Amino acid sequence: MSPRRATPARPPATVRDRLVEAAFTQFATRGFETTTVDDIADRAGVSRRTFFRHFATKEDVVFPDHDAIRAIVAADLGRRRDESPLTAVCAAVSLVLEDYVRNRDVSLARFRLTRSIAPLRDREITNVHRYQRAFARFLEERLPAAEKLQAELMAAVVVTAHNSVLRDWLVGGAKDDPRPQLAVAFAAVRRLFEHSAAAGDDESTVVVLKSGASVEDVTRAIAALSKEGPLR
Amino acid sequence: MSPRRATPARPPATVRDRLVEAAFTQFATRGFETTTVDDIADRAGVSRRTFFRHFATKEDVVFPDHDAIRAIVAADLGRRRDESPLTAVCAAVSLVLEDYVRNRDVSLARFRLTRSIAPLRDREITNVHRYQRAFARFLEERLPAAEKLQAELMAAVVVTAHNSVLRDWLVGGAKDDPRPQLAVAFAAVRRLFEHSAAAGDDESTVVVLKSGASVEDVTRAIAALSKEGPLR
């Protein structure tokens, strides 16, 4: 279960790999806060300078693949221009889960760290946000009416569904294959947007109001709607 | 448009208020990075030590009310146990927009800062995430089948809809009242969840109109409806 066990999956170990492995070993034994960059470099058998050639900070070494995976996901999305926008985004975000599964031990070690160390947790949150924003941009370009709000809601739902499955898997010790759960979650996502596709066709406007809404509330909502274009 | 103009809204100015005002003035004139805590304290006419009695870091002074507003929203949510879960969460998150509107000038100044300074932007993102997590917990407790995934998706959608409206308002220079737009966004949210019993189907009215209906047609139809009893 030690992070070192993950290494054989990607031979030969580069200096970068060795630094990551050394960092996780040190964090696990000495704690994140007390481990220094020198400790990590020593354990990896390289100089402090070499560490900084690969990572800007101690925090960065916890997420060595964030940028690479985001780039892979973006490239994948670019190849899915013939699929429905929702299908494309679900498929692309699945690559993130695939990467966690492939690097199971490091994923678990990192999850334990990010849960307890606030700056690392925040780093994860902002990374998730970046995915969400990229997906919203893709969806906005691809959805028929270039609906910005719908694109943002869809991106939020897809990313949240993915992360819910990923988190459950990690919380449970990463035991079973999480991909069937992801399929279940994506089915729930599809159900949400199937209905709204019917409601959002260009023949009608659907206005949904809370009980007790006054005529003024209604008029205000509709006036705002009509600013976006003619009522259809 | 200067942040100082916001101050008369909450007299009398406390030391804390003066520090916030001084900070935004300094950030606007000298830039966030180059402004020091001493600059802020000097301008507010207090000591560096007094600054640190109110704020732990220079970043914190940019978000003086984050914790307070989160507490207000949580308390509001606690009072909405008789409403449908989705209605309760939409109402509670609206208090955030209300606060932005009430403090319009500071909101705009802060938005300009958070857009350009990465650590501030990240702080905003993690703050939004905290709302989303709190709403998901509330919804999970309240949804009939305690559906964790559904609760998470609903929380994500509500928060994303709110933030989309808030962001559009700020990007546009905070000119018009954003609340009608929020009503429109929440209508889109309800549409997504209206097929689920959890959203409280019996609290919504769906009005479907032929293409070409004018605002007047709609208002007349709804006024007629409301004469027959409360809107449902």
Per-residue pLDDT band for B144 (boundaries 50, 70, 90) equals: confident
* Confidence (pLDDT) at B7: 47
pLDDT tens string A107-153 = 998 999 999 898 899 999 999 999 999 999 999 999 887 689 999 99
Q: How far apart are CA A127 and CA B125, in angstroms?
A: 10
CATH class of B3-61: mainly alpha
Report, in angstroms and rounded to the nearest whole number, the Rg of chain A calculated over CA atoms.
22
pLDDT tens digit sequence for A68-81: 999 999 999 999 98
Q: Considering only CA atoms, which of B52, B32, B30, B33 is closest in space to residue B41?
A: B52
Residue-wise burial string across B49-88, b where 16 or more C-beta atoms lie within 10 A, e elsewhere = eebeebbeebeebbbbeeeebeebbeeebeebeebbbbbb
Q: How many Å apart are CA A187 and CA A84, to the nearest integer?
A: 15
Give the mean pLDDT of A146-173: 95
pTM of model > 0.90: no
**Which residue reads 């100015």 in tokens?**
B13
Superfamily of structural domain B65-199 = Tetracycline Repressor, domain 2 (1.10.357.10)
CA distance B8 to chain A (A): 29
Mean pLDDT along residues B22-37: 92
| Per-residue pLDDT at A144 | 81
pLDDT bucket at A104, cuts 50 / 70 / 90: very high
> B137: distance to nearest CA of chain A, Å?
13
C-alpha A122/C-alpha A117 separation (Å) is 9
Chain B segment 109-128 residues within 8 A of A by beta carbon are: 122, 125-126
pLDDT at B231: 39
Question: Is the predicted ipTM greater than 0.85, yes or no?
Answer: no
A209 to chain B, any CB pair closer than 8 A? The answer is yes
Q: Is the pLDDT reported for residue A216 higher than 70?
A: no
Report the C-alpha gap between B187 and A207 in whole angstroms. 7
The residue of B90, B94, B126 whose CB has the most chain A CBs within 10 angstroms, and thus the best one to mutate to test that interface, is: B126
Q: Please give the structure tokens belonging to residue B94.
A: 């609206």
| pLDDT at residue B18 is higher than 50 | yes
Q: Considering only residues 183 to 202 of chain A, which have any Cβ-Cβ distance to chain B shorter than 8 Å? A: 185, 188-189, 191-193, 195-196, 199-200, 202
Q: Chain-wide mean pLDDT for chain A?
A: 84
Asked if B204's CB is within 8 angstroms of A209's CB, the reply is yes
> How is B72-140 classified by DSSP, letter by letter?
HHHHHHHT-TTS-HHHHHHHHHHHHHHHHHHTHHHHHHHHHHHHH-HHHHHHHHHHHHHHHHHHHHHHH
Q: How confident is the model at residue B218 (pLDDT cuts 50, 70, 90)?
A: low
Q: Which residue has the higher pLDDT, A223 or A138?
A: A138
For chain B, what is the mean pLDDT? 84
Q: Are A92 and A76 in contact (CB under 8 A)?
A: yes
Contact assessment for residue A114 and residue A24, using Cβ atoms and an 8 Å cutoff: no
- Specify the pLDDT at position A28: 86
The mean-pLDDT minimum among A189-203, B56-70, B80-94, B190-204 falls in: B190-204
Residue of B nearest to A120 (CA): B126
- Residues in chain B closer than 8 A to A221 (CB atoms): 180, 183-184, 187
Residue A106, pLDDT score: 87
Of residues A120 and B13, more confidently modeled? A120
Q: Looking at the complex, does the CB of residue A215 fall below 8 Å from at least one CB of chain B?
A: yes
Residue B51 · residue B37 · CB < 8 Å: yes
> Within an 8 Å CB–CB cutoff, is residue B231 touching chain A?
yes
Q: Do A208 and B226 touch (CB under 8 A)?
A: no
Instruction: Tell me: pLDDT of B117 over 50.
Output: yes
What is residue A206's three-state secondary structure?
strand
Question: Where are the domains positioned within chain B?
Answer: 3-61, 65-199, 204-232
Is the Cβ pair B193, A193 closer than 8 Å? no
d(CA B25, CA B47): 17
Please report residues of B whose CB lies closer than 8 A to that of A204: 208-211
Q: Model confidence at A155, in pLDDT bands (50, 70, 90)?
A: very high
Inter-chain contact A224–B181, Cβ cutoff 8 Å?
yes
- pLDDT given at position A223: 60
Q: Locate B190 and state its tokens.
A: 């309800």
Q: Report the residue of chain A nearest B124, measured CA to CA.
A: A126
Eight-state DSSP code of residue B230: S
A150 vs B: CB within 8 A: yes
**Contact at CB, B157 and A159, closer than 8 angstroms:** no
- Residues of chain A neighbouring B134 (CB-CB closer than 8 A): none
Going by pLDDT thresholds of 50, 70 and 90, the confidence category of residue A219 is: low
